[in-house]
Structure 1
């Protein structure tokens, strides 16, 4: 299998509506993680643009694989080495990324 993207349904779930995410977290008495919320926002943006969003998991996880893009979303800059074709987005970079015409 190697580094090839396998297009199948995985058990990673993201909520398209942040209200549902916040409500469920409150109901379960769980703390919302900033990185998860940021990841959901980017996923939803790309889902609306491409119609499908996948993720990759092998020795490392790539949050979003879609339309030739590989994106990892972090609340803070990661020190972990990702392949060169993976775009790392931190909290401050996401607004500009969402505004760019891709």
Structure 2
């Protein structure tokens, strides 16, 4: 089995929309591009079917590998802008590896 792609999944509750969209988003997009992230999905109205959680916004990004997703998150570039997200949104963020090529 070959290694899978890397994914970043975020659950967000934007508490300061002006700061999030005017300060964080313009700064994070070039960093995501630099690390080859692809936006696979995003929604401002996810439907929670189980777990009793209230989730306001979700985003799913794909990277060429788990290593690349980790490089993005820990990079000086992203660490320089992450505070804008912390200042404007509450979030749960996950990085994980996809399944990769399955035999057969």
Considering the TM-score relative to the shorter chain, is it more than 0.5? no
Larger Rg: 2
User: Structure 1 or 2: larger strand share?
Assistant: 2
Bigger helix share: 2
Give TM-score scaled by structure 1 length.
0.31
The higher relative CO (CA closer than 8 Å, separation ≥ 6) is in 2
